[in-house]
Amino acid sequence: MFDEEEAGPRPKRLILPAFDSWGVAELNLYIEELQTEIGRAETEIGRKQGHRSKADAFFKLG
């Protein structure tokens, strides 16, 4: 059975910027962008967990 955890190392997704030259407005915008991306990831997690729950119920594993 394929396990996502065993797929191997994944490339780094986030390039950490240097904040030295950023102003407060830029930092706030960056935070908003990250929060949007977190929401997108959480939505995907919920979708995948929903699929898993349905599969577990179908096969009566849960």
Q: Which of 35, 30, 46, 37 is nearest to 13 (CA)?
A: 37
pTM of the model: 0.62
User: Using CA atoms, how far apart are residues 24 and 29, in angstroms rounded to an integer?
Assistant: 9
**pLDDT per residue as tens digits for the range 13-49:** 888 999 999 999 999 999 999 999 999 999 999 999 9
Instruction: Check: CB of residue 62 under 8 Å from CB of residue 56.
Output: yes
Exposure string over 42-61, b if 16+ CB within 10 A, otherwise e: eeeeeeeeeeeeeeeeeeee
